[in-house]
Structure 1
Amino acid sequence: MVFDSGRDTRVLVAPALFDEAHKLRRFTVEVMRRLGGSGIDCFLPDLPGCNESEQDLALIEPEDWRMALEAAARHFGATHVLAVRGGGLILPGKLGGWHYAPVKGASLLRTMLRARILGAREAGREENVDALMEQGLQMGLDLAGYSLSGEMLRQLGALVPGKQAGITAIEHELVGGRSLWLRAEPDEDPAQADALAAVVAVALAA
């Protein structure tokens, strides 16, 4: 999705990852829409193996996502990057910008493992984190509807928000409201979209 009017300021959006991507999709687009109205072009690419990408997610590693974002940044002539949640774990190099609501890869992984264990329990099966991870590291694992390779699981668990030069963290408390990624279903909050877009727009105008 793009909001492209050929303007000088051009923001590449690194989307949230896995199930959080679905829960935050409308929010992300609404932030982009507001930035577009403020004179800022925005670009939201599909990561390899996700959404309309034809690549097999089971063959993808986090580095593939980072390289894809770097390619997208070159393609669109991005001047800045706005990462949402786990998108900050795969930031393209050299671009300054913002990381909204930083999260560790291990935290994303734990959330998906818990969801799988709860689903198994409801189906009358018992699973546990240690056994699932042992299986996953050897043969890959389906989590939250995503087929993840052992290498994806290994790398994801080690990823932490970087201290990349020029990247400013925007904690969720600055935006306010209940965290959308914690809601049971995808949702939106215009006030949160207004707040995040305002933070970015004001920073760009400074």
Structure 2
Amino acid sequence: MTARLEFSSYHFDGHDELCLITGAQHSQTILLIPPLFDEMNRMRRMLIDVMRLLAEREIGSMLPDLPGTNESLFPQELANLVIWREALAALSAGRKPPLKIASFRAGCLIDDFTDGASKWRFSPVKGQSVLRTMMRTRIASDKEAGRSTDMAQITAEARSGSVNLAGNSISSVLFSELEDAVPTPSEQVETVQLESSTRAADAKLPGSALWLRAEPDEDLLLSGAIADNLASWVLQ
């Protein structure tokens, strides 16, 4: 894969946020919304592979850092779903229509920042599921450190202020949002799952659940399948 990654940025709330771009010269561009929290780190290498493969298929793509994530200077403890939607809206403003949005895992919770856009979702997940996974990680970490913690205690801590979950500073606002967040229903949505999933989908792709691995990794079979499926979706 030889397509070149370009480092760009978008301005939001007084900060310049990083945005990776490939294939800017192509007529079709997909905005990729990454997974949230630690899943973002585990799947980033795969997403970059997908961007390069899309460029080889003459389709451009953008992968933004959300405020408070990766290299962002935005205070992590102030980030929430509303702010992330506003940041995506700022990024997409002025882009050539029609806008195509591909979101991954909990990134599907914030792809509703604009009306009327065609959406593609990979293994969408509810906010409550994301929270429970991070709380279980916190409980296991506390146990190793000799502390006894349960979900009720963590929830109470989150109600009174920010809480650290899986290395992320989660504000009480974000915690509350995630408790009820689900991907917004849309008439223009293509839902994709892994072949191993029992959930309903418009398409199922081969590959492994990278978000379950302990460390960031790649899966070229999955990257290629996602790029092929996205290309077919964009050009249909």
What TM-score comes out, normalization by structure 2 length? 0.84
Matched with 2:142 is: 120
Is 2:23–2:58's contact at 8 Å kept on the other side of the alignment? no
Q: Secondary structure at the match of 1:202?
A: helix
After the TM superposition, which of the residue ranges 130-139 and 16-25 deviates more from structure 2? 130-139
Mean Cα deviation higher: 168-177 or 139-148: 168-177
What is the CA deviation profile of residues 101-139 of structure 1, one whole-angstrom value per residue up to 9, with x for unaligned ones? Answer: 111111110000000000000111100000111111111
Q: Check if 1:205 corresponds to 2:224.
A: no
* 8 A Cα contact 2:24 2:61, kept in partner: no
Asked if 1:193 corresponds to 2:193, the answer is no
Which residue number in structure 2 is paired with residue 183 of structure 1?
213
One-letter amino acid matched to 2:109: L
CA-based RMSD: 1.2
Task: State how far apart, in whole Å, the 2-side matches of 1:14 and 1:196 are.
Answer: 14
Letter in 1 for 2:158: G
Question: Hey, what's the Cα distance between the residues in 1 that align with 2:66 and 2:184?
Answer: 19
Q: Secondary structure at the match of 1:24?
A: helix
CA distance in 2, matches of 1:44, 1:76: 14
Distance, in Å, in 2 between the alignment partners of 1:68 and 1:167 is 21
* Stretch of structure 1 that moved more, 64-73 or 41-50: 64-73
Partner of 1:89: 109
> What's the counterpart of residue 7 of structure 2?
none
Shift of 1:76: 4.2
SS at match of 1:99: strand
Give the number of the structure whose residues are more often helix, by fraction.
1
Residue from 117, 136, 147 that aligns with 2:158: 136
Aligned residues: percent identity?
35
> Secondary structure of the equivalent of 1:44?
strand
How many pairs were matched up?
Answer: 206
Per-residue CA shift, 1:167-194, capped at 9, x if unaligned? 2111122122221101111111000000
Please give the secondary structure, in 2, of the residue aligned with 1:66.
Answer: helix
Q: Please list, as runs of the form range in 1=range in 2, the aligned pairs for 1:1-206 lying within 5 A after superposition.
A: 1-77=20-96, 79-91=99-111, 92-94=113-115, 95-173=117-195, 174-206=204-236
Structure 2: runs of 5 or more not aligned: 1-19, 196-203
TM-score, scaled to structure 1: 0.96
Structure 1: 4+ residue segments shifted above 6 A: none
Q: What is the Cα deviation at residue 61 of structure 1?
A: 1.5
When structure 1 is superposed on structure 2, of 89-98 and 122-131 the one drifting more is: 89-98
1:75 CA drift (Å): 4.8
2:90 and 2:189 map into 1 onto residues whose CA distance is 19
Q: 1:75 to 1:4 in 2, by over 3 A?
A: farther
Residue 101 of structure 1 contacts residue 169 of structure 1 at CA under 8 Å; is this kept in 2? yes
Distance 1:105 1:12 in 2: 21
Hey, which of these two has a bigger chunk of strand by percent? 2
